[in-house]
Amino acid sequence: MNLRGANLQMLGKLAVIAVGMFGFGYALIPIYKHICEITGINILALSERDIPGQSARANVANTQVDTTRTITVEFDANARGPWEFKPEKRSIQVHPGELTTVMYEFQNVQNRTMAAQAIPSYAPKQAASHFNKLECFCFNQYTLAPGEKKQWPVAFVIDPKLSKDVTTITLSYTFFEVGSGIPPAPVAQTGKGSAAL
């Protein structure tokens, strides 16, 4: 066998190996899904199964939402300075475990740029550990130009483990200026004519 024939034979073997590897890689996906369905290892594959009496695309209800309870959430806004700050809604009704979003509006009515931040508080106090904020403007400080108006979301979930005695929660924010808005404390000066004690 000459060198050219040996090269062609080697090329043929490599082509067969490449096609075999491609076919094996392509077959891995259905093999993996089938093994996961049989063993129950992949929990995500359970949502792809057909449930008798339901279509495959049916929406599955969130079982963490307690629809047997309704909690009134009241929103309060306090501004420590010359600006406007208020919730879009004063109160809403939610079920524990339900994701809810409420907007707050803020406007800098001053003729100067300001930096501000909000601090939340809760009533009753025991609700604080069960009021889980996923997104909140209180996480950051904001700088607003003169006359600038912003809307910020508060996305929250009330933990279903909250005591059944609690039927109303008040979420209160105090928005205050940070940075250079507070004048420095006066410094005592010592004059030449001051008497020594």
- Angle, vertex CA 153, rays to CA 160 and CA 67, nearest 5: 25
**E-strand spans in 88-141?**
91-94, 100-108, 114-123, 131-136
Spatial separation of the C-alpha atoms in residues 185 and 55, rounded to whole Å: 70
Which residue spans of the chain are classified as CATH 2.60.370.10?
A: 71-178
Tell me how far apart the alpha carbons of residues 12 and 15 are, in angstroms, rounded to a whole number: 5
Structure tokens given for 146 = 């003169």
In this structure, are residues 56 and 50 in contact, taking their beta carbons and an 8 Å threshold?
yes
pTM over 0.85: no
At 180 the pLDDT is 54
Query: What pLDDT, on a 0 to 100 scale, did the predictor assign at position 55?
Result: 45
Question: Which listed CATH number (3.30.450.20, 2.120.10.30, 3.90.79.10, 2.60.370.10) goes with 71-178?
Answer: 2.60.370.10
Phi, psi of 162 (to 5 degrees): -60, 140
Other C-beta atoms lying within 10 Å of the C-beta of residue 128: 13
- pLDDT tens for the chain, residues 1 to 197: 688 888 889 999 999 999 988 888 878 878 877 777 777 665 444 444 444 444 444 444 455 788 889 999 999 888 777 788 889 989 999 999 989 899 989 888 888 888 888 888 888 988 888 888 888 888 888 888 888 898 988 999 999 888 888 899 999 888 888 875 544 444 444 444 444 43
Nearest Cα to 72, choosing from 32, 100, 52?
Answer: 100
* pLDDT score at 63: 57
| CB contact at 8 A, 97 and 158 | yes
- Cα separation of 69 and 161, whole Å? 11
Say how far apart CA 156 and CA 133 lie, in whole Å: 4
Alpha-helical regions (H) of the chain: 3-39
